[in-house]
Amino acid sequence: MRSAAVPAMAFVGALPSGEALALAVPPATTAAAMPAVRASTPWKWWIGDGERFHESFGTREEAITAARDHEAAFITEARQGMALLEGFDGGGLCDLFEEWNEENGDPDSGEPVFDSVTGDDWNDLAERLNAVTLQWALDRDIDRKAQVWMFAATRNMEGMKP
């Protein structure tokens, strides 16, 4: 059984007792606003306590029934997150290449091997590596297989009456 945390935003409601309730809930995110590789995860209904959601269902009605059976207080519709496939950045690549080549530099001058490479050059390399990595993942359907614990987006959160 997978459990997913919900990033913080405001949700205000009321408990069955009439007591005010404020929870951490993210705003709805449309598929159009998400990167294409992350939009491949279908919307599912989840049950949980409002902070963690641990079981998914195909329909709202199934989630409501299960929430009542499990005494879960909330249901929400969510997309599971996907593994990050585009994580290269110019500064990190510069550091990595310098580390790999620290023994190859001129010991008398102390200048790094890649001293003449500009920030724009490193950023260009990062963009190219990110594009190749993403295409590699798409070619192997990895974007659809590499789900992570966090939700990428949620919508339609509802409190359930006991």
Q: Distance between CA 159 and CA 162 in Å, rounded? A: 10
Instruction: Specify the DSSP class assigned to residue 86.
Output: -
The number of distinct structural domains making up the chain is 2
Express the helix, strand and coil content of the chain in percent, nearest 5 each.
30, 30, 40
State which residues form the domain around 126: 90-138
pLDDT at 137: 83
By the 8 A CB rule, do 5 and 150 touch?
Answer: yes
Between 71 and 63, the higher pLDDT residue: 63
By the 8 A CB rule, do 90 and 129 touch?
Answer: no
Same domain, 75 and 155: yes
What is the percent of the chain with per-residue pLDDT over 90, rounded to a whole number? 23
By the 8 A CB rule, do 89 and 35 touch?
Answer: no
pLDDT at 117: 92
Same domain, 50 and 114: no
pLDDT at 145: 63
pLDDT, average across residues 106-124: 85
Same domain, 74 and 99: no
Same domain, 104 and 27: no
pLDDT, average across residues 99-125: 85
Same domain, 60 and 99: no
Same domain, 76 and 151: yes
Same domain, 77 and 17: yes
Tokens of 26: 């993210």
pLDDT at 124: 93
Same domain, 46 and 124: no
User: Which residue from 106, 127, 124 is spatially nearest to 115, judged by alpha carbons?
Assistant: 106
How many Cα atoms are found within 13 Å in the side-chain-facing hemisphere of 58? Answer: 0
Q: Is the pLDDT at 22 greater than 60, yes or no?
A: no
For residue range 24-62, list pLDDT tens digits in order: 333 333 333 334 444 447 899 999 987 888 899 999 999
Same domain, 70 and 150: yes
Same domain, 14 and 31: yes
Strand partners, 46: 56, 76
pLDDT, average across residues 50-75: 88
Task: Give the H/E segment covering residue 2.
Answer: none
Same domain, 26 and 61: yes
Q: Is the pLDDT at 120 greater than 90, yes or no?
A: yes
Same domain, 34 and 101: no
User: Which residue from 41, 32, 42, 36 is spatially nearest to 135, judged by alpha carbons?
Assistant: 36
